């Protein structure tokens, strides 16, 4: 497939309810949309297949759904730091940031993911910090990478504890996700994450009049099923 083929595929799967929802957004970054939800976009991405060059072309379009497809079909081993730095500058919309760094993200599967996450954790740029914590959540599920030590994750927990009060709602939300993911990794990290989750309480991440319930990380870290899994 080429870019025209993908745009045609997206148009064929246009969702009227999604379009109505998109029209209500105050901040679309000037992007167009076919109103397609992420679940359906994942299915369409599988039809398109992995293609690094096409992913880069789709990212350059002015269509939100096409950009999402581009993020989903990219080839992890071909993603460069330069590409990641350029793309994070062009996010701006919450759903793009979410798919870029979390949501089983392609970037998180890239060999550069750990180094990028470490660098962005120290960034003064809000979207880089938000993406860093999204990557930490995804990396918390990786048991094979030797860089992903308990020491690294404890440092992330300490950062969250110290800095979450000063962050925006979107960054707070990804911090909560990272804390949850880390706390599900093993017994030691679970205990440390529970202490911080108890201290910070449910995370209110609503911005621009949002009405989502606060994110109760502690609830996710104290389930019976997780206790059984970790041998607590």
Span 111-127, pLDDT tens digits = 999 999 999 999 999 99
With a pLDDT cut of 90, the percent of the chain lying above it is 84
In angstroms, the Cα distances linking 43 to 33, 49, 94, 165, 183 are 17, 10, 21, 38, 30
pLDDT value at residue 207: 62
Query: What is the rounded average pLDDT for all residues in the chain?
Result: 93
Are residues 52 and 75 in contact, defined by beta-carbon separation less than 8 angstroms? yes
pLDDT value at residue 208: 53
Distance of alpha carbon 224 from alpha carbon 144, whole angstroms: 26
With a pLDDT cut of 70, the percent of the chain lying above it is 97
Using pLDDT thresholds of 50, 70 and 90, give the confidence band for residue 219: very high
In angstroms, the Cα distances linking 60 to 12, 68, 90, 173 are 21, 11, 10, 27
Average pLDDT over residues 94-100: 86
Q: In a 10 Å sphere around its CB, with 0-12 CB exposed, 13-18 middle and 19+ buried, how is residue 199 labelled?
A: exposed
Within 10 angstroms of residue 101's Cβ, the number of other Cβ atoms is: 32
- Helix, strand, or coil (residue 49): coil
What is the sign of the dihedral through the CA atoms of 104, 120, 187 and 194?
negative
pLDDT digits 0-9 by tens, 25-47: 877 878 999 999 999 999 999 99
pLDDT value at residue 124: 96
């Amino acid at each position: 497939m080429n870019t025209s083929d993908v745009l045609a595929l997206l148009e064929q799967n246009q969702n009227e309810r999604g379009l109505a929802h998109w029209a209500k957004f105050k901040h679309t970054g000037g992007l167009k949309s076919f109103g397609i939800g992420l679940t359906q976009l994942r299915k369409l991405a599988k039809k398109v297949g992995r293609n690094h060059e096409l992913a880069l072309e789709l990212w350059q379009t002015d269509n939100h759904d096409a950009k999402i497809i581009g993020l989903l079909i990219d080839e992890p081993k071909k993603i460069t730091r330069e590409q990641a730095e350029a793309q994070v500058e062009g996010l701006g919309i919450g759903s793009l940031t979410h798919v870029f760094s979390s949501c089983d993200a392609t970037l998180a599967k890239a060999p550069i993911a750990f180094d990028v996450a470490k660098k962005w954790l120290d960034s003064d740029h809000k979207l880089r910090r938000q993406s860093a914590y999204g990557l930490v959540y995804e990396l918390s599920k990786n048991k094979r990478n030797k860089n992903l030590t308990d020491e690294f994750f404890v440092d992330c927990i300490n950062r969250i504890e110290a800095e979450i009060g000063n962050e925006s709602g979107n960054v707070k939300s990804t911090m909560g996700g990272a804390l949850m993911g880390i706390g599900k990794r093993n017994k030691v990290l679970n205990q440390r994450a529970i202490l911080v989750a108890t201290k910070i309480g449910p995370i209110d991440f609503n911005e621009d009049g949002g009405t989502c319930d606060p994110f109760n990380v502690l609830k996710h870290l104290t389930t019976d099923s997780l206790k059984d899994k970790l041998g607590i």
